[in-house]
């Protein structure tokens, strides 16, 4: 297996590299890049369902959009089972942690609406049971297409396989609330090809998901970001000089880091509607650094491309580490080169005293960062925890050149619209 740069050498762009040297600069608990502590007495959105990845309705330029004054979010959602014998422990108590940890297998797309950009009201399931072709409806993006309320929901159809799909429906408003109609025909778009992006056959732990379509502010074309792993059999990747970067003496040993092969994928639409896509080489690779760069998304600001992606402590490679949270990279043009924000890439991580307090951060163009609460310790030792499955306090962040700064904290799940569309 060739190194990342050799492998993509002859293609239209070189993937940028998040190197081991970059990652060595990650510092947990730097207050400018750490999410404020989430208190264990947080409110929950619903006692009936867990929610996690949150996907605000937006337009193709990235603006969070309300319709007729109603804000709308989509969430990955799963029932809570407080009375199901399957989730009771030996003492007959609800084992909420086990229920929460099992949620990915039954994830479904739901929506919520609000007049205030918070205090979300339950909308319901987006697609009826049986519409989506696989067991799991994983993350993606709802795009408001026009003032007729048409919405393209791009998401990941998972198990069996992992396919980027889309389904079209319509958002309908009244003075009392919002409903979703249509969403009846799911169109498969593409899957990992084994040449640019790793397939399940190459690696049972492959990742291929989380579509984020957008219109490039410069060339006006329709593209899509997604999470992938660099193609090749598991274990065959090489962590060479380029992937290591400029490290101090004593940091050359890469251990088993060849197993960590995350990348941020990109595809370009061949048509205006986004029904026909061509995968391009990744924008960014993290071979030898991290195995997951999830839910990649952009903020277009000051003529620059700010690329954000979420990642975990447990997916880091041997010899490098960092908190769960959102990482970022910046470039002057779409295809890079991208450099890590704040030197390391870390933009907003969990504090080390509460390493799992939040996840799935989504940076909006107004600098607000939404995420969900995973679990928060309820005692000093961190052995007792309270499971979330609900919206975290929104964080305000300033993006300035090559740096980012935490500057504010807002209410739970505060996702205000950036523009409102009056439906015809």
Tokens of 264: 């941020």
DSSP output for 261-326: -EEEEEEEESSTTS-SEEEEEEEEE-TTTBS--EEEEEEEETTEEEEEEEE-STTBPTT----SEE
Tell me the closest approach of the beta carbon of residue 240 to ligand FRU, in angstroms.
28
Tell me the closest approach of the beta carbon of residue 329 to ligand FRU, in angstroms.
18
Nearest CA among 148, 49, 57 for reference residue 100 = 49
- Rounded Cα distance between 423 and 419, Å, is 13
Tell me the closest approach of the beta carbon of residue 404 to ligand FRU, in angstroms.
21
Q: Do residues 117 and 71 make contact, with C-beta atoms less than 8 angstroms apart?
A: yes
Q: Do residues 141 and 58 make contact, with C-beta atoms less than 8 angstroms apart?
A: yes
Tell me the closest approach of the beta carbon of residue 314 to ligand FRU, in angstroms.
12
294: annotated active-site residue: yes
CA-angle at 256, arms to 252 and 260, nearest 5°: 105
Tell me the closest approach of the beta carbon of residue 244 to ligand FRU, in angstroms.
27
- Provide the binding-site residues for ligand FRU, judged by CB under 6 A: 52-53, 76, 104, 107, 138-139, 156, 209-210, 227, 294-295, 359-360
Taking residue 411's Cβ as centre, other Cβ atoms within 10 Å add up to 14
Tell me the closest approach of the beta carbon of residue 389 to ligand FRU, in angstroms.
12
Cβ-based nearer residue to ligand FRU, 25 or 104: 104
Cβ-based nearer residue to ligand FRU, 67 or 186: 186
Cβ-based nearer residue to ligand FRU, 260 or 360: 360
Catalytic member of 137, 243, 291, 294: 294
Cβ-based nearer residue to ligand FRU, 262 or 399: 262
- Where do we find the tokens 């995973």? 374
DSSP for residue 33: G
Catalytic member of 22, 53, 291, 391: 53
- Where do we find the tokens 């998972």? 158
Taking residue 276's Cβ as centre, other Cβ atoms within 10 Å add up to 12
Cβ-based nearer residue to ligand FRU, 329 or 372: 372
Nearest CA among 310, 330, 331 for reference residue 322 = 310
Cβ-based nearer residue to ligand FRU, 52 or 306: 52
CA 368 to chain centre: 15
68: annotated active-site residue: no
Q: Which of the residues are catalytic?
A: 53, 294
């Amino acid at each position: 297996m060739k190194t990342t740069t050799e492998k993509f050498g002859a293609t239209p762009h070189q993937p940028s590299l998040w190197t081991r040297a970059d990652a060595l600069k990650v510092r947990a608990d730097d207050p400018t890049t750490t999410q404020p502590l989430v208190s264990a007495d947080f409110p929950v959105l619903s006692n009936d369902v867990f929610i996690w990845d949150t996907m605000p309705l937006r337009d193709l330029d990235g603006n969070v959009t309300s319709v007729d004054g109603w804000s709308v979010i989509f969430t990955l959602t799963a029932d809570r089972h407080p009375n199901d014998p399957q989730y009771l422990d030996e003492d007959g108590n609800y084992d909420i942690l086990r229920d929460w940890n099992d949620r990915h297998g039954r994830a479904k797309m739901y929506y919520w609406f609000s007049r205030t950009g918070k205090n979300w009201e339950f909308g319901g399931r987006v697609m009826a049971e049986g519409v989506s072709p696989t067991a799991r409806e994983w993350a993606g993006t709802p795009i408001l297409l026009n003032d007729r309320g048409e919405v393209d929901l791009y998401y990941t159809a998972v198990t069996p396989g992992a396919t980027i799909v889309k389904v079209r429906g319509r958002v309908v408003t009244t003075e009392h609330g919002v409903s979703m109609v249509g969403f009846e025909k799911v169109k498969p778009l593409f899957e990992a090809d084994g040449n640019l992006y790793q397939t399940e056959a190459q690696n049972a732990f492959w990742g291929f998901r989380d579509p984020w379509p957008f219109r490039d502010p410069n060339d006006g074309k329709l593209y899509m970001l997604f999470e992938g792993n660099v193609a090749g059999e598991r274990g065959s990747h090489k962590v060479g000089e380029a992937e290591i970067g400029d490290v101090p003496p004593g940091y050359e040993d890469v251990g088993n880091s060849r197993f960590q092969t995350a990348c941020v994928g990109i595809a370009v639409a061949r048509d205006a509607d986004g029904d026909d896509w061509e995968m391009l080489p990744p924008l960014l690779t993290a071979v030898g650094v991290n195995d997951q760069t999830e839910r990649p998304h952009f903020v277009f600001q000051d003529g620059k491309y700010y690329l954000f992606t979420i990642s975990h402590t447990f997916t880091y490679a041997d010899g490098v580490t960092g908190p769960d949270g959102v990482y970022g990279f910046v470039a002057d043009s779409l295809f890079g080169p991208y450099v890590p924000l704040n030197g390391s890439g870390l933009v907003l991580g969990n504090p080390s005293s509460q390493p799992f307090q939040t996840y799935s951060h989504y940076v909006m163009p107004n600098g607000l960062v939404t995420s969900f609460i995973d679990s928060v310790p309820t005692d000093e030792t961190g052995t007792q925890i309270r499971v979330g499955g609900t919206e975290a306090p929104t964080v305000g962040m300033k993006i300035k050149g090559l740096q980012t700064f935490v500057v504010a904290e807002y209410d739970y799940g505060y996702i205000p619209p950036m523009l409102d569309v009056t439906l015809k």
